[in-house]
């Protein structure tokens, strides 16, 4: 089995809503909603990777903050190690790849079709399983 694919994702919150984008047709997990980000290049730092992905996908600069959740998940076709980082945008995001983009209320996160690997983060963000 090959090493997991390292993926960075931005957790961007504004007024109780989180920025999510929809995966394009023809990509892994097409049609699901996700926190924006992407694969790390070899020898690329996590901060540099996420900043690059946000520039490429949403044409926006960002302050990459603390890591808030890490998960490794095995899909049938690949294993991913997802690093979610709190992120602050420096401007307004504008989808560059034709992908849908929405600000989703915290309480609505669980109603979206998200990749299986994102489930733990959504539980953390919505307080599910945290005794609330």
Name the residue among 82, 91, 80, 72 with its Cα closest to residue 12: 91
pTM of this structure: 0.91
Instruction: Please name each of the domains of the chain with its CATH number.
Output: 5-126 (3.90.79.10)
Q: Is 129 exposed, middle or buried (0-12, 13-18, 19+ CB in 10 A)?
A: exposed
**Model confidence over 83-131: pLDDT tens digits?**
999 999 999 999 999 999 999 999 999 999 998 899 999 999 998 654 4
**Model confidence over 45-78: pLDDT tens digits?**
999 999 999 999 999 999 999 999 999 999 888 8
Paired sense of beta strands 61-74 and 79-90, if any = antiparallel
pLDDT > 50? residue 132: no
């Amino acid at each position: 089995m090959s090493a997991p694919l390292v993926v960075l994702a931005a957790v961007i919150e504004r007024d109780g809503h989180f920025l999510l984008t929809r995966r394009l047709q023809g990509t892994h997990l097409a049609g699901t909603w996700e926190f924006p980000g992407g694969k790390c290049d070899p020898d690329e730092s996590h901060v540099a990777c996420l900043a690059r992905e946000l520039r490429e996908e949403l044409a926006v600069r960002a302050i990459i903050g603390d890591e808030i959740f890490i998960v490794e998940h095995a899909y049938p076709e690949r294993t991913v190690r997802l690093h979610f980082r709190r992120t602050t945008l420096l401007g307004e995001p504008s989808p560059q790849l034709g992908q849908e983009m929405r600000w989703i209320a915290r309480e609505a996160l669980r109603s979206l079709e998200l990749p299986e690997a994102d489930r733990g983060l959504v539980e953390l963000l919505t307080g599910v399983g945290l005794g609330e």
